[in-house]
Each structure stands twice: as C-alpha cells, then as structure tokens.
Chain A
C-alpha cells in the first residue's frame, strides 16, 4: 500500500516503541526488532520513572494499546539484527529470530510452570530471585507469551508440552534468519547498568548488601522479588539506613569517562522510595556534584529538605563488610573537611549507563564511538539513533529524541535527506 520504503527500528524499549509509533501513526510501515522476548526495555523494570514518577504500566500500557491497534507496525521479539547493508532508501537487513519454543497460541494461562521442574535466575529481577525454565518475562510482557530458557531445562524434559492445553509449546522450534528491505534505520538499543564488579573498591561482588540502582528499582517494585518491600538481600531485614554512592563508574577514566546524567535523579528517587516505606530511615547520599538537569532541580530541593536525608559532598571510595550484614563505607565529607566512616544496612551503587551495544557482537553497518554509543554523525545517510543508544538521557528526553528520529526516518523514506 505504501509507495515508500519501510523503517526498521532496532530496540523495543521506550525509545524504540516511541519511534515506531510516531512513524507508523502517520502511515509509515515500521518493523520493530527487539532482542529480548518482550518489549518495554529498561522502563518496564522501574518501580517509578520520571518525570511524573508513575509506575511503568502508565506509560507502557497505552503504548502497547497503540501498537495493537496499529496495522503498520510489525514486531519481532527475541530477534537480533545481524547486519545493515546498502544505502539510504534501500537497506538490506539480516535478522535472526531466536526460538522461544512457545508459539502465538499461548494464552499465558500459567499451567506450564506448575509442572516445570527447573529453575533459572530471573534477569528481570536482576538475578535476585528465580523463575521456572518456562516463564512469562514479566507481568506486562508484550507479547503476553511465555518463553523457555532451553539451557535451563532438564535434558529430555517435555512436561510442559503435555501440560499445555493449547498446543502452544514447540520444543523443536528452530532459529530463523530473515532478510528485510527497508528505507531507513533507527537504532534505539538503549543501555545496561555498568558492571559494578569492575569497581574493585566498591565491594559489589564481595560485600553482602551492596546492590546497584537497578536492583533497588526491583526491590521497590511490587512485581519485584520482595513484592515491593525494601529488604536487604542477605537477611531480608527492612532497610533502616542506606548509603547511595553516586558516580559508581561514571565520570571515571578507568570505567565510564562520561556523566550518565540520570544516576543522581535515580538515587534521589530511591531516597523517596525508602522514606515512603520507613520515614525514620536514615538516607545518606554521597556525591561529587548533584546533577539534575533542567526542571529536575526542584526535585533535589524537595528531597534535600527531608530531615532524614543527609547529602555529603565526597565520593565513597572504600566499601567493606561490617557486622551482622552491615556495610562500612568510607569517604571524605569535603564540606566538613573530615573523613566519614559509616555503617549502614545497605549500600546502593548509582551505577552508570553503559550502551547496550558495548561489548556485544558488532552489528555490521552500525558504527559505535569509543564508549559504545551510536552517534548520528558517525552513521551513513538513512541510519539514525534515538534515546540512550545515542547518549545518556532520562526517559523524557529519550522520548523527545525518538520523535525527532522518527521524523528523520520518515524523511528518508520520502527521499528527503
């Protein structure tokens, strides 16, 4: 029906969904490719997100409804873009569809999990709990369909096949490679938290109850491992004192040389989570500079005014295990010109944003900078980037950026460069 070519959007997080919707709702055909089994990306894992501090359902649900109602978007989940070749208006794309072993007949009735004998670490909850080997990626998965983590299955097991009344499970499902032709490409591959175990002085992998900011979101979320109660991982004790370590990896030439731009807001938001559950809890935020761009300045002022929030200028540079699950942190309180030694229930490392493509197999045709971001100026004509794939950003500006990317992509399909 369309004379013009299609648009490929790589990445099904908030940026990719936005790009796909903005372009398709004016009539462009869009192919949305997501690597994991569900859309939603990082936003779906948050307890609340800026600017309105609403739960992810409020933003994602309406987007999913727009997607369902839209015949111009074709969604491939559990699929990877392998290569992009050709030129603006005429790209050839190779996509690999990885098998989920569950087909579209699945109605998410959950009968399969009852018979499944194997567990797997739940990556959606940052590894803090387990699911069965057959599982729904998360409560608001799109598509709402189970998947099987085959390496986690017991060899030869097919109990779920018999348990499924709908014939939705196909253990012989094969990897498929497909070729697509599109006119333009938008890379919206987003980010992952920096691997905090590389910060050797922060005790992330050696000291109990040192977690990262993504784990904090999951602890606060009702769909998380603690049903939304902020309990420290080692003994499930409610957290009464917590230290937030800003710039855990960011602004550090040995790790992420750039500012990740969202971690300060993240920790301020987490302080709010903690105090909402326990107004008596003591919250200490150690920072180099508190960076909350634009109108978010108001939020700092608000959190700072909380009597139990203590903001200390000085980076935490040593974290060791304390007594009975406690954690000892050491920093200089620069404004008091004195070192601080604190023992608290839990430490949250405000780990920075690392681009998802960093350290991944290179996608031919997509050019990365030294940090793994996808800057527009490095790409050939007709290839764009949106959201955190391009640079560190919050949800709000990622959405604006994605709308802009949609316009660029549409222009390319119309032969405008």
Chain B
C-alpha cells in the first residue's frame, strides 16, 4: 500500500452509535429488504441499506454529508420488515442525532445533551440566570408579587426583563444554527453535487414548506402512519405558540412606544390568547400521542436520552404553559409563580440549545429537503435492467 486510503472508518463512532440508539446495528447482513420496504426512498442510490453499511463500518464522513438521513421520516416500515432485527429506522434516527452533534457549535452543548450529568448543567444555567433576575427585580419589594392580587406574571418578571434575558440565548442559537447549517449544506454539496434536474432555490424552498406543512412524507408511512396526526398537531401547535409569543412581544413594545393596545394578561377571548390556547392544546395532544406510541413500541424502538430529553422538554414546556394559566385563573399564587419559573427555564433550554439538541431537526431536515429538490435528488430516475 502506498498510503492510499480506500475508506475512512472510525470504530469509536460505531461504538458511540450503538450506545446511543443503534444497539442492533451489527445484525444487518445487507439484504436490502429495508430499501424496498421504505416508502420514501428514491430509486437511485436508495436508503437506508447503504447507510446501514456505512454505519457498520464507521464511515462517518459519508454519513454526516448524507442528505438521505433527513429524507427519512422514521416510518419504521424498514424496521418492521427487517429479517435480522437490525432496526434500520432506529439506526437512521441515531445517525441524525450524531449528525446534529457533529455539526453543532459549540459541540460541548451537544455532548452534554446526550448525558444525564450534562443535562443538569444545561438546566442549571437558565435556572440560576432566571432566579437571579427574579431576585434582582423583587428583592427591594420583599417579593411582594407573591401576595399581590390578581396574579400578574409580569410582576415577577416584567416583559422587558424577559426580553433582555432571552435575547442573548436566542441570538446565540441563531448564530450557532447558521454556523452548523452552512457547514451541513457544504457537506451535502460535496456528496451530492447539484444536477441539472434540480429546481431553483426559491421553488425548492416553497416546495419544501408545502411538503412540511402538508406532512406529505408522513402520509406515505406504513408502520408509523399515526405520526401524520401526532407530529402535525405538535408542529402546528409549536408554530402557533411561536406566533403567540412574538405577538405578545410586539404588543408589549407597541404599548411601550405609546400605542394603545392590550397587553398581558390578555382577556380570554383576545385573538392572540385564543391562538395561544388552541396551539398549546394541539401541541399537548400531539406530544401525548407521540409519547403513547413510543411507549407502546418500546420493544422495537429504542430512544436514547437525546431523544427523550427533546420529547420531555417539549412536553413540560407545554404542560407548564397550560398550568400557568390554570393556576393564575384558579388564584394559586405560589404554584402559579413556581410553574411560570419552570416554564421559563424549559423555554430557555428549548431555544438556547435548539441547534445542538434534537430540536435542531427543524433546521437540518428542511435544509436537506430543500437541498434534495435543489440538487435534483427528489426526481426519480429509473435504471432498469
């Protein structure tokens, strides 16, 4: 050998993968039942059989640049039909998590999100920061907000404080997302150079938005078909909550600048309030259904801490959000403010660490889907015998 390296392999990568969700990876014997079972794969260079091979060998460079990981929507039809119990669907999911970790910046956050101890640190940061802010604001008044009637959350932490508190982590997340995703797309371009079959960027973005909103890929799934409903509820719910939060932000600052608009707490039938409540319940129902199906399929579907942290976070964010309103209206001051505090911590975790945790899939997946259209991967070419 003259120093020529045919394949780059990394056995530590394989071991890490097997520890984090892909325990049965090595059972695969490359029969490719999975690629036929898959309702989403293109005919040319289909997945997930090739990913199983790359993963077994630890060919991580290929995997990190693989857009197909993100065209997979975890239907698990492959896992169902696998003759070896190698669970390709779970392997793909674990590979996505590894990809998020690989591109994440700073990587320490992503590594921390995989371990219990790391998560304690990740939670302590917002817990301390928010607690300090509350203390700073209220130490003079002797925490009078606790006894003031009616319960107004802005008494504990005014919106200005929240905006100042949350703006840095949001900017931090935006910057890190940009860094990660531009590296990710760079990798995709290397592995799948754009072809002349591809769409222009704008139609590709538009088409992807339509696909995501309509859940067209989820609808093609066999085994995990139910996620067409549950994931959609959750996604629409969170989009609704995102709009609500921004609306409250805008209303607040309009008010600050002298416009006569209603600010929080909003009356029950205010359009923003209605949107917030409907969205919260949609998100709750979606997460509930997802968790129920995950638990039901726990025999075939192994979730790593990385996955559970994400689902758990979403769940508690929504639940504490709903409870905040319940306790406020029910006039349980201590419970209400405690819940609100937890809610803020949850939201902070979700936003600040978005690109390094599984929440990051909302960046990676659309990016890969757009690139799939842009590069022409989504156009099926038949190579017959």
Contact = CB atoms under 8 A, between A and B. Distances in A.
B282 to A, nearest CB: 36
Contacts of B190: none
A128 interface: no
Contacts of A314: 31-32
Contacts of A254: 83
B35 A332 contact: yes
Nearest to A246: B31
A333 B384 CA distance: 10
A315 B385 contact: no
A332 B36 contact: yes
Given A251-B83, A252-B83, A341 B32 contact: no
A314 B43 CA distance: 14
Contacts of B43: 338-339, 341
B278 to A, nearest CB: 41
Contacts of A317: 32-33, 36-37, 81
Interface string A271-314: 00000000000001000100000000000000000000010101
A314 B31 CA distance: 5
A247 B37 CA distance: 16
Contacts of A340: 384-385
Interface in A322-373: 330-334, 336-342
Contact of B385 (A247, A316, A332, A342): A342
A337 to B, nearest CB: 5
B87 to A, nearest CB: 12
B83 A332 contact: no
A373 B83 CA distance: 21
Contacts of B49: 332, 334
Contacts of B41: 339
Contact of A331 (B32, B44, B84): B32
Contacts of B81: 201, 317
Name the interface size band of chain B. 20 to 34
A338 B36 contact: no
A318 B36 CA distance: 7
Contacts of A339: 35-36, 41, 43-44, 46
B44 A332 contact: no
A251 B29 CA distance: 10
20 contacts: A201-B37, A247-B31, A251-B31, A253-B83, A253-B84, A253-B85, A284-B385, A312-B385, A314-B32, A315-B83, A317-B36, A318-B37, A331-B36, A332-B32, A332-B35, A334-B49, A337-B44, A337-B50, A338-B383, A341-B43
Nearest to A336: B383
A315 B32 contact: yes
Given A336-B383, A340-B384, A315 B45 contact: no
Given A251-B83, A317-B81, 13 more contacts: A201-B81, A252-B84, A253-B83, A288-B30, A315-B33, A318-B36, A332-B46, A332-B49, A338-B43, A338-B45, A339-B35, A339-B36, A339-B44
Name the interface size band of chain A. 20 to 34
A59 B30 CA distance: 39
A131 to B, nearest CB: 37
- Grouping DSSP codes into helix (H, G, I), strand (E, B) and loop, the B interface class, with mixed when no group exceeds half, is loop
A340 B383 CA distance: 7
Contacts, number: 70
Contacts of B45: 337-338
Nearest to B78: A317
Contacts of A337: 44-46, 50
B36 A341 contact: no
B259 interface: no
A201 B31 CA distance: 15
B382 interface: yes
A83 B33 CA distance: 43
Interface in B27-71: 29-33, 35-37, 41, 43-46, 49-50
A284 B50 CA distance: 23
A254 B80 CA distance: 10
Nearest to A287: B31
Contacts of A341: 43, 382, 384
Contacts of A255: 83
B32 A334 contact: yes
A338 B30 contact: no
A336 B81 CA distance: 23
Contacts of B35: 332, 339
Contacts of A288: 29-31
A194 B141 CA distance: 81
Contacts of A315: 31-33, 36, 83
Contacts of B36: 315-318, 330-332, 339
Which are the 3 A-B pairs with shortest beta-carbon distances? A317-B36, A252-B83, A315-B31
Contacts of B83: 247, 251-255, 315
B217 to A, nearest CB: 18
Interface string B358-372: 000000000000000
A21 B291 CA distance: 65
Contacts of B50: 337
